[in-house]
Structure 1
Amino acid sequence: MYNFLLEYIPNHKDEILTEWMERMKQNGDERFINVVSDQVYVNTSSEFVDVILSRLDTSENYNEKLSEFAEKIVRLGWPLTFVTSGLSTMGKIIFDKINETTDLPKEKHSEYFLVYDKWMTPMYNEIISAYTATWERTVSLQKIALQELSAPLIPVFEKISVMPLVGTIDTERAKLIMENLLNGVVKHRAEVVLIDITGVPVVDTMVAHHIIQAADAVRLVGAKCMLVGIRPEIAQTIVNLGINLNQVITTSTLRKGIEQALEITNRKIVKLEGSL
């Protein structure tokens, strides 16, 4: 019976593929399908069928094909719901077509159902597992990359460095900010560090606590810390929460912060004669 399955599906590949793509376009997520070019959709769908077929032929490297396909669809942005729906739809098409064929005696149908289930169910689990593992690995790598870029300490003048912060600040990121801040102060021999929170959407008690800790840590290594980019709504939030920032120099903009930092380091910006 397995041999019948092994013979039937490859011989009807084009027919199965065509019907699968039509059903998926009708029932799939339109937002996803609309952003994928027809050529990419056809090529990836064909590869999807090839992966399924490779599981029938044990002589082929199924696990390698499955891993490569999972990486590809994650990279292309195929959502997991589309993959699971695609597997279910593929199973129904193959099931219906074999069930309707005259090549298989009616008395053999129940036997075929068992063989089909033993073939389809493990493959379903394998593809979902491969997709999930690839997705988690991709997200993990992206998270590491974002962390590396999320809290850089940038020297802008001699003895003056700026750390621009963008996005939300959680406990894990706060630890990274603290580490980069202290290492940067020592590396760049900074005397003044400006933490720019212009791009931080919300400053709550926890965020303020992390900033105060960072300022205290900077003072312990012999530098001063300034908090710049405080918007009116952020200032109001800080006041309402009763957060004490008396030990931290604050300014509304990065420019004003740099001007103060220059004064602290006995320098200032001078307008040259004849300049605009």
Structure 2
Amino acid sequence: MDQKLKDIVIEHSDDIVKMWLEEVNKKKSSDYTAAISDELFDSTNREFVNVIFTSIEKSGLANDINDFSERLINLGWPLSYLTDGMQVFRRVTSEYILRQSDKIDSDYFAEVLRKVDGWVDPVINQLVNEYSGSWEHIVSLQRVALQELSAPLIPVMDNITIMPLIGTIDTERAKLIMENLLDGVIKHNAEVVLIDITGVPVVDTMVAHHIIQAAEAVRLIGSRCILVGIRPEIAQTIVNLGIDLSKFPTKSSLRKGFQSALELTNRTIEDVQSKDEDIEKLIDSLNRE
């Protein structure tokens, strides 16, 4: 019975695919697929139905299910595309098989539904598992990338590094800032670290506490911190909250902080243009003599 029904499906695959595509296309104007180009939608649907038939023909799960699931994730299509498509295939295939038979008794009807479920359910499970696994992997990679970008330590000069902070600082991110800061100071042999909070929208007691902790940890390993990017409203907030930032220097801008960092490392900024002009004047004077 199972092989007979399977032969019917394979033999009339073109008709079933046509019915399936018609049903799926009916939904295109009313859900998330409305914004997808007709060409991409059609090619993806055909790839999807090929995956389904390959699984049925091989009496097992096709190896390309994983590739198809990853393709959908890269396209940004939701999991519901897979589950909806499989439900449509279940209904269309069952209806087509029943139309091909003269039998109308309930036992045959139940048998057809059971066999079709036996083909469809494993494919749904595998697609969902592969999609979920691929999605979790991608999300994990993105989380690691975001963590690396959320607290970078950038060496800008020998013994001077900058950590630009952007966005809200919570406890988890504060821990990451501390780790990156200490590792970076040692790795780059930094004597001075500029913590730039220009992009931090709110500096409350908790944020200030985390920054003070980070600065103190840097001091304990022999380096110094300069807090830069303190806007007037941030300064007012710090004063109103009674936060003590006297243990390490603060500057209103990164430029001023960098100048202080140069002074702490016994360096200064000199105007090269002025020196060139002085040399030209000296040469002119010698030539006149």
TM-score interval, smaller chain: 0.7 to 0.9
Relative to the length of structure 2, the TM-score reads 0.81
Deviations 1:195-248 (CA, angstroms, capped at 9, x unpaired): 112233343433322221110111001111112223344444444544332223
Residue of structure 2 in register with 1:77 after alignment: 76
Q: Which moved more, 1:230-239 or 1:69-78?
A: 230-239
Residue of structure 2 in register with 1:181 after alignment: 181
CA distance in 2, matches of 1:224, 1:73: 49
Q: Measured at CA, do residues 64 and 212 of structure 1 come closer, stay the same or move farther in structure 2, by a change above 3 Å?
A: farther
- The question of 1:22 aligning with 2:21 is answered no
Residue of structure 2 in register with 1:151 after alignment: 151
CA distance in 2, matches of 1:203, 1:104: 76
Deviations 1:165-218 (CA, angstroms, capped at 9, x unpaired): 233333333333222211221222221100112233343433322221110111
Q: Measured at CA, do residues 90 and 209 of structure 1 come closer, stay the same or move farther in structure 2, by a change above 3 Å?
A: farther
Contact 1:226 1:248 in 2 (8 A): yes
Residue of structure 1 in register with 2:281 after alignment: none
- The question of 1:41 aligning with 2:41 is answered yes
- The question of 1:126 aligning with 2:132 is answered no
Between Structure 1 and Structure 2, whose CA radius of gyration is higher?
A: 2
> Residue 226 of structure 1 aligns to a residue in which SS?
strand
Contact 2:161 2:194 in 1 (8 A): yes
CA distance in 2, matches of 1:95, 1:217: 68
Contact 2:163 2:195 in 1 (8 A): yes
CA distance in 1, matches of 2:187, 2:129: 44
Q: Measured at CA, do residues 255 and 3 of structure 1 come closer, stay the same or move farther in structure 2, by a change above 3 Å?
A: same
Residue of structure 1 in register with 2:51 after alignment: 51
Contact 1:28 1:82 in 2 (8 A): no
> What root-mean-square deviation, in Å, do the aligned CA atoms of Structure 1 and Structure 2 show?
2.7
Q: Measured at CA, do residues 223 and 18 of structure 1 come closer, stay the same or move farther in structure 2, by a change above 3 Å?
A: same
Q: Measured at CA, do residues 173 and 71 of structure 1 come closer, stay the same or move farther in structure 2, by a change above 3 Å?
A: same
Q: Measured at CA, do residues 51 and 208 of structure 1 come closer, stay the same or move farther in structure 2, by a change above 3 Å?
A: farther
CA distance in 1, matches of 2:235, 2:101: 77
Contact 1:193 1:225 in 2 (8 A): yes
CA distance in 2, matches of 1:43, 1:249: 61
Q: Which moved more, 1:154-163 or 1:225-234?
A: 225-234
Q: Which moved more, 1:163-172 or 1:192-201?
A: 163-172
Q: Measured at CA, do residues 92 and 205 of structure 1 come closer, stay the same or move farther in structure 2, by a change above 3 Å?
A: farther
Residue of structure 1 in register with 2:103 after alignment: 105
Gapped regions of structure 1 (runs ≥ 5): none
Contact 1:17 1:46 in 2 (8 A): no
Specify the code of the residue in structure 2 equivalent to 1:189: N
Q: Measured at CA, do residues 199 and 81 of structure 1 come closer, stay the same or move farther in structure 2, by a change above 3 Å?
A: farther
User: Residue 72 of structure 1: CA displacement?
Assistant: 1.2
Residue of structure 2 in register with 1:64 after alignment: 63
Contact 2:82 2:124 in 1 (8 A): no
Specify the code of the residue in structure 1 equivalent to 2:73: V
Match runs of 1:197-276 below 5 Å: 197-273=197-273
- The question of 1:196 aligning with 2:196 is answered yes
Residue of structure 2 in register with 1:88 after alignment: 87
Contact 2:94 2:112 in 1 (8 A): no
Flag as ranges the 4+ runs of structure 1 deviating above 6 A.
none
Relative to the length of structure 1, the TM-score reads 0.84
Count of equivalent residues: 271
CA distance in 2, matches of 1:239, 1:116: 71
